[in-house]
Amino acid sequence: MSGRTVLVTGVSRDLGRTCARSLANDPSVERVIGVDVMPPRGDIGDVQFVRADIRNPVIAKVIAREDVDTVVHMSVIATPGSAGGRGTMKELNVIGTMQLLAACQKAESLRTLVVKSTTTVYGASNRDPAMFTEDLEPRRPARTGYAKDVAEVEGYVRGFARRRPDVTVTTLRCANVIGPRVVSPVTSYFRMPVIPTVLGFDPRLQFLHESDLNRVLRHAVTAGVHGTFNVAGDGVLMLSQALRRLQRPGVPLPGLAFGGLGSALRSARYADLSPELVAFLTYGRGVDTSRMRDMLGFEPRYSTEEAFGEFASTLPPTGGRADRVLAAVAERLPEVTDDRPPALTVTGGSDG
């Protein structure tokens, strides 16, 4: 089956746009149609842009007319941001997905549906297992915000998969996407010059590099594997460790103050610390990616550490004085050859 026609939703934002472009470069794909309510801000290359709102039935006509066989749904947004208020965001996410899926169900030509979901569906709490597998439910179902939207979207996608068993439905639960050009709640959090943290908590974080997101979406379009998959870079990073790598000072705040700061920053449009992000930055989250490797057959190029390192290298450090002092002292001392030395041998016995 050569010459596939792929429809990508949500191309006005950077991730959707770059994904559509990388799909257009794929030899097995003949045409890529980008759909959004607003025209994309950057270069979309060979992608054909159709201005359409997925919240109304026009999208069905686009799918029917262009004879689309693959739909990549990327327009589930994490923040109201440019869309307006929370009401609009929910409308876009949930009603948009319902309309899109309704249109997909009518489209006879459709063979593959790829949905970009997020690991936020697992929530974050103190009762979480260390690593979520795809079969696990969140310990506390989300009641508001992005997490609830995504949970509903996934529910509709599962319903669609039941009704159209002939369509390969791939749901990708991606960890927080990070990269020099990514604008998201998490990246704007790390771009703050002084980074607030929750006092007494050190969450585990996982990241996915933006290029890996494009690769996995392309892989999902071409591989056609049915199912839900966690997608994240290898390894985990503690928040404290991440701040040290950024060389930015962290300010620990008590949990309640941190939540209050979230709304203050949101109203100042400085960063968006939504309640689910606050929970994430308190308890952290890890997802198990063995199914991604074994069944989906995808291997991320960047580990969590490398993805964050690349992101960190683009930000000017605002702290890190202590390290510079130590570096100056260390220069006067002999070179340390072995990398991770065993425990220090302290004279005077070990039972002190």
Partner 1 sequence: MGDAEIIPIGTRGRPGRGTGTRPSAAARNLAGKGRSGAAKPDAPTEKPDSAEATPADEAAPSAPPADPPEAQSVIPLLGDEVMPLTPSESAAPAISPRLTVTEREAPGIPIGDWLSAIQAAAREVFGDQWESQLAHFLAFLRRRLTGDYVVDEFGFDPEITERFFMTALRPIAQKWFRIEVRGAENIPTTGGALIVSNHSGTVPVDALMTMFSVRDQTDRYLRSLGADLVFRLPFVGAVARKGGATLACAEDAERMLAGGELVGVWPEGFKGIGKPYSQRYKLQRFGRGGFVSAALRTQVPIVPLSVVGAEEIYPLVGNVPALARLIGVPYIPITPLFPWLGPLGMVPLPSKWLLEFGEPIRTDEYDDGAAEDPMLVFNVTDQVRETIQQTLYSLLMQRNSVFK
Cβ neighbours around 273 below 10 Å, total? 23
Contact with partner 1 (CB under 8 A) among 95, 238, 251, 264:
238
Mark the segment that binds partner 1 (CB under 8 A) among 1-9, 24-32, 267-275, 324-332: 324-332
Closer residue to partner 1, CB minimum distance, 211 or 241? 241
Residue number, 85 or 200, with CB nearest to partner 1: 200
Q: Could you tell me the smallest distance in angstroms from the CB atom of residue 128 to partner 1? A: 7
Give the contact letters, 123-152, x = binds to partner 1 (CB under 8 A), - = no. ---xxxxxx-x--x----------------
Can you read off the two tokens belonging to residue 306?
């490398």
- Shortest distance, position 134 Cβ to partner 1, whole Å: 12
Q: Which range touches partner 1 (CB under 8 A), out of 9-17, 41-49, 141-149, 192-200?
A: 192-200
Least CB distance to partner 1 at residue 193 (A): 18
Find where tokens 């989250």 sit: 285
Q: Which of 286, 292, 296, 307 binds partner 1 (CB under 8 A)?
A: 286
Closest CA to 39 of 27, 31, 47: 47
What whole-number distance in Å separates Cα of residue 71 and Cα of residue 231?
Answer: 19
Other Cβ atoms closer than 10 A to 186? 22
Kindly tell me which residue out of 242, 277, 278, 281 binds partner 1, with binding defined by CB under 8 A.
242
Supply the Cα-derived Rg of the chain in whole angstroms.
22
**Sign of the dihedral defined by the CA atoms of residues 210, 216, 219, 221, in that order:** negative
Q: Which residues fall within 8 angstroms of residue 37, CB to CB, at 6 or more apart?
A: 12, 51, 52, 53
The helix (H) or strand (E) run that includes residue 118 is strand 112-118
Judged by CB under 8 A, which of 15, 33, 60, 243 binds partner 1? 243
Q: Which stretch binds partner 1 (CB under 8 A): 76-84, 149-157, 262-270, 278-286?
A: 278-286
d(CA 116, CA 77): 10
Which of residues 48 and 247 has its CB atom nearest to partner 1 in the complex? 247
Query: Which residues partner with 112 through β-bridges?
Result: 70, 168
- Does 208 sit near partner 1 (CB under 8 A)? no
Residues whose CB is less than 8 angstroms from the CB of residue 51 and which lie 6 or more positions away in sequence, other chains included: 35, 36, 37, 38, 39
- Point out which residues bind partner 1 (CB under 8 A): 126-131, 133, 136, 198-202, 204, 235-238, 240-245, 247, 255, 283-284, 286, 320, 322-323, 326-327, 329-330, 333-336, 340-341, 343-347, 350-352
